Every structure is written in structure tokens, then in C-alpha cells.
Structure 1
Amino acid sequence: MIRILLAEDDEAMRSYITRALENAGYSVVAVGSGVEALPLIQTEIFDLLLSDIVMPGMDGIELAQKCNEVSPSTKVMFITGFAAVTLRANREAPHAKMLSKPFHLKDLVREVERMFEDAVPMMV
């Protein structure tokens, strides 16, 4: 089963995203900040880091860079509502997927599925 680490500081958004991904068959560990996520990426294996970019303490870009250092095989997807932050993310984490808020949860699940097309059997 594909494991996803979700770092999102908005509690309601974190809950909605977690539920949508779990309903789609993914295993999700959800935390409220990059600071909370960091020890998890250092001690556990995740297939995807799904992170908001703008968070207090440690932003999603810094978290993704640290994730890449300890687990370069972990894919990264950012979610953000700020266009200027998107430009920075593209520059500092060029291999990450980007999804702009607001988005429909079905779109999020579809984008995650696309990232793992080779690993997840297609449902007909």
C-alpha cells in the first residue's frame, strides 16, 4: 500500500485530504506542521510527501529539501494557495508536483494516482 505523509497546518483541510486519500486506498499519516513531519521522514518510509508550502516553523519547501536528503525516492507534491510561493517552489524543488488551492478532492486523488501510475493497478 502506498504511504503518504501529509503536512498541512489547517486542521479542516488536513482532515478532508486525509479522508479523501484513505477512501482512495492510500495509507495516510497526517501532521500539522513541517516540524512534526521531520522526525517521521527520518524514521519511516513514505512514498509521497504531500505538503502545504506556507506553514509556521518549517515551510513545505524546506521540509521537501530535508526529505530529499534522507529519502530521495520519496515523491513530493505541494499544495498552496499563493501564486508567488508556487514560483519559489518550482525554483527550489523543481521535481515536485504542484496543486493550487482551491482544488476539488477528486482532483487531488487523481493527481496522486498519476504520480503512482506504474505502482497502482488501474481500476476499470
Structure 2
Amino acid sequence: MARILLAEDDDSMRDFLAKALNRAGHDVDAVADGEEGLDALGEAPGAYELLLTDIVMPGVDGIELARRAAQIDTELKIMFITGFAAVALNAGEAAPNQAKVLSKPFHLRDLVDEVAKVMAAA
């Protein structure tokens, strides 16, 4: 399964998602914000296969985290989660590394299935 870096600022959501992904067989490191995510990526470039990040976070948001992560590791797959349907990448800007967006609320099975699809895409 995949080695995943999860960036989510909501403690309970972060724990919930990490447990679900761990149960599905993934190796998950969870961080509380974009700054911690950048630190984790910088400490071990190439260690993660997937960045799963909330879009709206204080400080370094998920989009900025993804852009900078894609510069650190060009092979890193990226998946966004958001509770704000109106939040989107600016028109005309390419999503880093062909990112997928999953809108909250979602079922955990949907998350696990989408992660599997992202990881299967070559």
C-alpha cells in the first residue's frame, strides 16, 4: 500500500482519516498544518507516495503545500480534501501533479477508494 502524508488542521478529522487509511493498509504520517507538512517533506524527500491535504488551513494552506511539495518531489501524487465546495484552484492554473479533489462530507470507503485510484494511476 501507499506511504501517505496527511495534512489536516482539524484534530478529530485528522485522527479519523489517519485511522481509516491505516486500517486500509496504508502507512500514514499525519500533520496538523502546511508548515508541518513542508517540514516532513523536507526531512525525507521522496519518502511519501501521496500527499493528502485539506485545502483550507491556517498559515500555509493545502494548495500552497501541494505546489511546494510538487517542487520537492516531482513524483508525489496529490489529493485534496475540502469542506468548501466553492474552493477551487484558480482558473487556468494546473493542479500540482494532476491532483484529485474530494469534497467533504464523504464516506470513508470513498476516501479509501479514491486513494486507491490515485495510487493506481500511472
**TM-score using structure 1 length:** 0.88
| Aligned residue pairs, count | 119
Specify the alignment match of 2:12 in structure 1.
12
Q: Among 101, 106, 112, which residue is 1:103 paired with?
A: 106
Cα 1:83–1:113 shift into 2, 3 Å: same
Aligned to 2:56: 54
Q: Which amino acid aligns with 1:112?
A: V
- Determine which of 69, 73, 95 is the counterpart of 1:67: 69
2:93 aligned counterpart, secondary structure: helix
> Contact 2:89 / 2:95 at 8 angstroms: preserved in 1?
no
Instruction: Provide the rounded CA distance (Å) in 1 between the counterparts of 2:92 and 2:50.
Output: 17
Question: Deviations along 1:84-109, whole A, 9 cap, x unmatched?
Answer: 21243983525100000000111000
Taking the aligned partners of 1:89 and 1:49, their CA distance within structure 2 comes to: 22
Q: Note the alpha carbon deviations across 1:48-106, whole angstroms, 9 max, x for none.
A: 00000000010000000000111010000000011221243983525100000000111
RMSD between aligned residues: 1.9
Normalised to the residue count of structure 2, the TM-score between the two structures is: 0.90
CA distance in 2, matches of 1:58, 1:86: 16
1:85-124 matches, within 5 Å, as 85-88=87-90, 91-93=93-95, 95-117=98-120
Q: What is the deviation of 1:40? A: 0.8
